[in-house]
Structure 1
Amino acid sequence: MKERSSGLIIGISIGVVIGALLAVGGLLCFRFHRKRPQIGNSSSRRAATIPIRANGADTCTILSDSSMGTESSRTSVQNGVPLWLGGLKKGHVVAASGILEYSYKDLQKATYNFTSLIGQGAFGSVYKAQMTTGEAVAVKVLATDSKQGEKEFQTEVMLLGRLHHRNLVNLVGYCAEKGQHMLIYVYMSKGSLASHLYSEKHDVLSWDLRVQIALDVARGLEYLHDGAVPPVIHRDIKSSNILLDQAMGARVADFGLSREDMINRNASNIQGTFGYLDPEYISTRTFTKKSDVYSFGVLLFELIAGRNPQQGLMEYVELAAMNTEGKVGWEEIVDSHLEGNFDEQELNDVAALAYKCVNRSPRKRPSMRDIVQALSRILMMRPNKKHHRRDSSVAADEVALNVDQLGRRSPMNGEHRRFESFGSTAESCEA
């Protein structure tokens, strides 16, 4: 009887211990599974505070001429957990948009010790970098005499990193080492629009391509004004800040002044490029979206006339406007290099739109969304116009081949043949 009592006590004790262990294990499992969704929800909430808005075209269009390699980069994600879950840390930037961090040593090697200079401006020098993976990027080394500190640089990367559009020169990486701040951008192999308009090294841009470039720039600005959150005003639209990719697609570059405005909204000194600046901005010191529209209007006239504001472009335009009343008769200002190879109706439509953009009253200027729609309509009318001309004059075309024209310089060289026509897959993707 005594032995039976002892066995019973031992059994009960063992059962109690096993039950306690099971209870502790169950509690730990419950807490573990409870934490996992909390982390996920937290990341979702925080990601929402750094919004990235993109139109339909961006989801099916490659942002750069070639894919970015990651062999020489250090991403801002460790063990699958983004660094921004733990807040900002020195040497790291919020990278919810996938911005890569590069080491100074890698960039020094890729730029041949920073000797591959391809551009220079007030905000720093730009170098071409050949990465070990074979991809080419543009490295912008910010000027060391700037007052920008580590916090401001982190803010800049956060602001620029959230802007993604096929008509913007997108930020793809950064470096913050050895007292240097560098921004890595998509490399634009065809250079600036200004170089194609004014350099003898390039063939003449055709009229069709000029209008397509204008539409590309307008789409980039429309995204900045209406698609980015918060909206971004570029503040320095000009032909040297429009870069061309391998397919002659145009992208808006150099957000130097816009980033200053985003970081320091109290800056009151006039900044920008004279000739492109909105007169209203000069008088009021207030830059608005319509100021960008004015600069875009100047750029449109630059594409039409083949001359820049420093060459008296706007005076030239105002003289022509006295005869055209801003609507028709703009043929007298067309770039002579086009040698008459343009559609007069298109020319007058584009010039009339440009004249609206440079109206002295900002309220009377169209929005970038209106401009995109107007330029899109002009391009959509091209097939109808060509079809009509072909039906009405096909017989004359067959017999009017002028042998003397065979030796003329063609504005539409193979180098400038746009791979992405208005009716291509890349364009229809946006529709």
Structure 2
Amino acid sequence: MPNGSLASHLYGEKSAPLRWDFRVNIALDVARGLEYLHDGAVPPVVHRDIKSPNILLDQSMHARVADFGLSREEMLTRNGANIRGTYGYLDPEYVSSRSFTKKSDVYSYGVLLFELIAGRNPQQGLMEYVELAAINADGKTGWEEIADSRLEGAFDVEELNDMAAAAYKCVSRVSRKRPSMRDVVQALIRVAKHSHSSRNHHGRRLPPGRTDDESVDLEASEDQSSASGHQRQESVGSVSELPDV
């Protein structure tokens, strides 16, 4: 992909800091991709390895979920005895039960959201950092303390708090308390609408290659059909080679 991986933009020494509005758009793109895998693909697909190196960015900074290697391997072997995935993103319930579900992907996605917010590697204490912030958080306040310092304060506090609140629900240690990806998409559409409105109000520059009308595809309604199958499918790489189940 022309713009490489999300990880390269968050941690690359030669990369300019990833702007806040880019982060919001990327979060929504990935959420839509996972929603498609879980609820739109036939058969449904559990990715099993959501992480920033597996999120690829095209020339317009649209994000796509890539690398279905673990999904393919699990479908072929049907052997869930060994823990598979990437340290820092692993659902603790999966680690204890060896049962990987859609809600395990939701957990990994929540870690990715906090990674976008904090600009900190999950393998270097991100979630411990988040838990310390959560202790100090009161309602929707306090999350800005973990914002990526490279942003230099160039973010909307309300948007950050709403995105962090969604992320914190995703990383609940109890899987049944986590939202579905469809619920997450709804929450992030609202964040993206606010971001889109703020950019227009303040005359901020749109991402390269995105027009004012398509920057986050906000014409979608906030009901259960918020993103069409086509929109969601565009946010994932090819799943055509995955075996049927």
* TM-score between the two structures when normalised by the length of structure 1: 0.48
Q: Is the 8 A contact 1:297 1:358 kept in 2?
A: yes
**What is the DSSP-based 3-state SS (H/G/I as helix, E as strand, rest coil) of the residue aligned with 2:50?**
coil
Distance 2:46 2:212 in 1: 27
Aligned to 1:214: 27
Q: Which of 321, 327, 330 pairs up with 2:143? A: 330
Aligned to 2:239: none
Aligned to 1:301: 114
Distance 1:352 1:203 in 2: 27
**What is the DSSP-based 3-state SS (H/G/I as helix, E as strand, rest coil) of the residue aligned with 1:258?**
helix
Aligned length: 220
Distance 2:170 2:94 in 1: 14
Moved over 3 A (4+): 382-387, 428-431
Q: Is the 8 A contact 1:241 1:253 kept in 2?
A: yes
* Larger proportion of strand: 1
Residues 1:342 and 1:310: Cα distance change in structure 2 (over 3 Å): same
**Deviation (angstroms), 1:379:** 1.2
Q: Is the 8 A contact 2:207 2:215 kept in 1?
A: no
Residues 1:221 and 1:422: Cα distance change in structure 2 (over 3 Å): farther
Q: Which of 8, 11, 18 pairs up with 1:205? A: 18
Larger relative CO (CA 8 A, sep 6+): 1 or 2? 2
Aligned to 2:242: none
Residues 1:330 and 1:255: Cα distance change in structure 2 (over 3 Å): same
For residues 18-54 of structure 1, the C-alpha deviation after alignment (integer angstroms, 9 at most, x for no partner) is xxxxxxxxxxxxxxxxxxxxxxxxxxxxxxxxxxxxx
Distance 1:349 1:425 in 2: 20
- 5 Å-filtered alignment, 1:280-429, equals 280-325=93-138, 327-385=140-198, 417-420=207-210, 423-424=213-214, 427=217, 428=219
For residues 140-160 of structure 1, the C-alpha deviation after alignment (integer angstroms, 9 at most, x for no partner) is xxxxxxxxxxxxxxxxxxxxx
Q: Which of 251, 255, 265 pairs up with 2:68? A: 255
Aligned to 1:238: 51
Q: Is the 8 A contact 2:192 2:216 kept in 1?
A: no
Gaps of 5+ in 2: 221-226, 229-245
Structure 1 letter corresponding to 2:53: S
**Deviation (angstroms), 1:422:** 7.3
**Deviation (angstroms), 1:426:** 8.2
Structure 2 letter corresponding to 1:248: M
**What is the DSSP-based 3-state SS (H/G/I as helix, E as strand, rest coil) of the residue aligned with 2:64?**
strand
Residues 1:201 and 1:324: Cα distance change in structure 2 (over 3 Å): same
Distance 2:196 2:122 in 1: 33
Residues 1:189 and 1:362: Cα distance change in structure 2 (over 3 Å): same
Distance 1:383 1:236 in 2: 30
**What is the DSSP-based 3-state SS (H/G/I as helix, E as strand, rest coil) of the residue aligned with 1:218?**
helix
Aligned-residue sequence identity (percent) comes to 68
For residues 101-133 of structure 1, the C-alpha deviation after alignment (integer angstroms, 9 at most, x for no partner) is xxxxxxxxxxxxxxxxxxxxxxxxxxxxxxxxx
Distance 2:70 2:146 in 1: 31
Q: Is the 8 A contact 2:38 2:46 kept in 1?
A: yes
- 5 Å-filtered alignment, 1:270-281, equals 270-281=83-94
The structure having more radius of gyration, on CA atoms, is 1
Residues 1:196 and 1:271: Cα distance change in structure 2 (over 3 Å): same
Aligned to 1:229: 42
**Deviation (angstroms), 1:384:** 4.8
- 5 Å-filtered alignment, 1:17-36, equals none
Superposed CA RMSD in Å reads 2.2
**Deviation (angstroms), 1:208:** 0.5
**Deviation (angstroms), 1:210:** 0.3
